[in-house]
Amino acid sequence: MIQTDYDSQIAAEHAAELAEKGLTFMEVAVFDAANFWMLLMRFAFNLLICWVIIQFFYYRKSRRKDYYFTFILFSVTVFFLLFLLQSIPMQIGFALGLFAIFGMIRYRTETVQIREMTYLFVVIGISVVNGLSMEVPHASVITANLLFIFIVWLLESNRFLKHTSHKIVLYEKIDFIKPDRYDDLLTDLKNRTGLNITKVEIGHIDFLRDCAFIKVYYKSDSDEINTIDNVMRF
């Protein structure tokens, strides 16, 4: 006769624990409803915030679809990395250092401009905040994201910072670069370029070729940023 020890209370507690964990595979829960819906809501919210900043502030002026693509995918990747790996022990300093390295990337085909680097850092920062702030009250997270949008809007608008466009010009009238002929230089550049030039800076001077590099500042009627203003070929 085989005797077995059976404790109904322990069995009930074990059954309740299994029911709470749900279906598991290799000791990992197959589906966690609370975590699943939190993932979808946080992802949608993070994507919405990043899309608003990229679409209405960055892309409106730059019209660069390549960086649009880069910023969105950076945001999605960083968010999923942090949200899905937050249960793994990892020092926050190491995580931020990793993303700082990503943010300092310079592509071989083109040097990333300061404006693009700034937006890339903003997108990474927003995704880090939304991916790690699981225990932060929702009101605080939403407020932080809205403050991101407000500050970007404030700095991109002409209400706070007056944007002045500039170009690099290879200028051949070498006599006009003298300090006492600054007004003649300004007038000549206005007539030849048709731009409302407000300031001129003299750069490299080549007396062998009788020319000089000049940086001209002007007021533009368009808010769009010209990505080749500083590209020069000598």
Q: Give the model's pLDDT for residue 149.
A: 92
What stretches in the chain show pLDDT beneath 70? Answer: 1-31, 87-111, 159-163, 221-234
pTM, two decimal places: 0.65
- The interaxial angle of helices 65-85 and 92-103, nearest 10 deg, is 170
| Cα(142)–Cα(42) distance, integer angstroms | 11
State whether the Cα torsion 60-64-67-68 is positive or negative: positive
How far is C-alpha 49 from the geometric centre of its chain's CA atoms? 11
| Beta carbons of 190 and 182 less than 8 angstroms apart | no
Q: Give the model's pLDDT for residue 12.
A: 55
Q: What is the mean pLDDT of the chain?
A: 77
Q: Give the model's pLDDT for residue 2.
A: 47
22: left (phi over 0), alpha (psi -120 to 50) or beta: left
- Listed by start position, the domains of the chain span 24-156, 165-219
Q: Give the model's pLDDT for residue 212.
A: 92
Q: Give the model's pLDDT for residue 10.
A: 60
| Cα(97)–Cα(103) distance, integer angstroms | 10
Distance between start and end Cα atoms, the chain: 101
List % helix, strand, coil for the chain (3-state, nearest 5).
55, 15, 30
Per residue in 145-194, pLDDT tens?
Answer: 999 999 898 888 776 666 677 888 899 988 898 889 999 999 999 999 88
Secondary structure class of 215 (helix, strand, coil): strand
